[in-house]
Amino acid sequence: MKLTIIGLTVLLASFITTDSYAESVNNAADTAPSAHNATISEALEQRVIEWRRDLHQHPELSNREFRTSGVVAEHLRSLGLEVTTDIAHTGVVGILRGAHPGPTVALRADMDALPVKEMTDVPFASVATGEYRGREVPVMHACGHDLHVAMLMGAAEYLARKQAELTGNIMFIFQPAEEGAPEGEEGGAELMLKEGLFAIEKPDAVFGIHVWSAGTTGHIGYRKGPLMASSDRFEIRVLGEQTHGSRPWGGIDPIVVASQIINNVQTIVSRQVNITKAPAVVSFGIVEGGVRNNIIPDEVYLEGTIRNFDMGIRSEIFEKLTTTAEMTAAASGARAEVFIDEGYPVTVNNPDLVTRMMPTMERIIGSENLYEADLVTGAEDFSFYALEVPSMFVFLGITPPDQNPLTAPSNHSPYFYADEASLRVGTELLINWALDYPAAR
């Protein structure tokens, strides 16, 4: 079943800012450090935590973030922002226009959850379900997108109350379907751009954060240039000719041909592309064919993934994969039909932007908590924004200091756990990026 907006009216009513809360936030804003060292009040930090817990209890799958987007849109409207909804199905965009002319900075958070059954013991654990591939499944924020949304909501609240001091504009992007649209649908960053996201307001730079269980709470991992791999899916149908297993010469064996294709494809990365330029991976995940031990089938199906950190090499691998499969099959009298489903591009951080924003990160967390991240073979559709404008994406550690982040349950695990102390760090980082960028250009 699709998730519905159950009790949204009641929930949103609870989010309406009370006079006492507004007073506390305004007082905090009046006494806060300058825009070059912005910190949030304890009241706002608690509010971010409460948003996160509520969102965690009510996760929604890709392109089905109806309740989440409703909460976000109501909050942005309450702050007086220009709000656009229903972009890429459930996406929400808020524009905050500063009092002084200047560049536009975009801050992005993704909203969707995963078809995972939560196994943590937190009191706000998810018991939600949703529809995935035609069946009802448990749903969990096992990748931390609930934290992303809560932090960006907090940043929007702080910055809206500083509007009279702001130089330039700030675009808040709440994006659906980062984990991938349901089969037969479009979604995510690519669809937001296709439907005119940057026609609403084209930013001069885009910033994003991903919480990271492999990092200690409050530590930030950054990298200039490629950070996360492209992710592409391929299918190969090996077409032979059926025959009895006792008479293999009576047909064309697609199983043998498929095994030759699997072996030969391994030479693409090891022998045919320049791996000194960027790493790459070609892996097979599905091999299907045959129904009986003594019948050679007429077809074998192969499916796999390509990961890469250079867009030029990515195209080269596509070409070589097709040629290798087709020529290997032809050598045995079979045919190979190759289909490549282009997924997310390489996530590339603009080197100059990273350099200019390093002082901001050092100020927020201290240089001792800032580290250069390794290349990550996982993928992120934040990459589509980076193809359009200079962008920067970082990892925010969320594993408590008394635990080893290298052995902590990873993102997408049913035991995924986030230390909520990281929420303050992430919120303040978003705020200070937006405040510092105009002067750092």
Q: Which tens digits make up the pLDDT trace of 95-132? A: 999 999 999 999 999 999 999 999 999 999 999 999 99
How do 347-349 and 225-228 pair as beta strands?
antiparallel
φ, ψ of residue 420 to 5 degrees: the values are -70, -10
Q: Which residues pair with 51 in a beta bridge?
A: none
**Tens-digit pLDDT profile for residues 193-235:** 999 999 999 999 999 999 999 999 999 999 999 999 999 999 9
- Residue 51 burial (CB < 10 Å; 0-12/13-18/19+)? buried
Given strand 335-344, what is the order of strands in its sheet?
Answer: 280-288, 299-308, 230-239, 335-344
Domain boundaries of the chain, sorted by first residue: 35-223+349-440, 230-344
In 3-state terms, the chain is what percent helix, strand and coil (to 5)? 40, 30, 35
Q: Within 10 A of 335 (CB to CB), how many other CB atoms are there?
A: 17
Q: CB–CB of 350/251 below 8 Å?
A: no
* Catalytic residue list: 344, 420
**DSSP run (H or E) holding 429:** helix 422-440
Q: CB–CB of 29/38 below 8 Å?
A: no
Q: Is the dihedral of CA 378, 382, 385, 390 positive or negative?
A: negative
Q: How far apart are CA 190 and CA 207, in angstroms?
A: 16
What are the start-end ranges of the H helices in 217-370?
A: 254-267, 311-331, 351-365
Overall residue count recorded for the chain in this entry: 441
**Tens-digit pLDDT profile for residues 292-303:** 999 999 999 999
Flag whether pLDDT at 390 surpasses 60: yes
Please give the pLDDT value at position 36.
59
The tokens for 193 are: 């751009």
Please give the pLDDT value at position 34.
42
Q: How far apart are CA 252 and CA 380, in angstroms?
A: 41
Flag whether pLDDT at 18 surpasses 50: no
Please give the pLDDT value at position 440.
86
Please give the pLDDT value at position 363.
95
Q: How far apart are CA 85 and CA 106, in angstroms?
A: 16
E strands, 367-415, where?
370-372, 391-399
Q: Which of the listed CATH numbers 3.20.20.410, 3.50.50.60, 3.40.1260.10, 3.30.70.360 matches domain 230-344? A: 3.30.70.360
- Residue 60 burial (CB < 10 Å; 0-12/13-18/19+)? buried
**DSSP run (H or E) holding 222:** strand 220-222
**DSSP run (H or E) holding 159:** helix 145-160
**Tens-digit pLDDT profile for residues 56-98:** 999 999 999 999 999 999 999 999 999 999 999 999 999 999 9
**Tens-digit pLDDT profile for residues 124-182:** 999 999 999 999 999 999 999 999 999 999 999 999 999 999 999 999 999 999 999 99
3-state secondary structure of 270: helix
Q: What CATH code would you report for 35-223+349-440?
A: 3.40.630.10
**Tens-digit pLDDT profile for residues 285-343:** 999 999 999 999 999 999 999 999 999 999 999 999 999 999 999 999 999 999 999 99
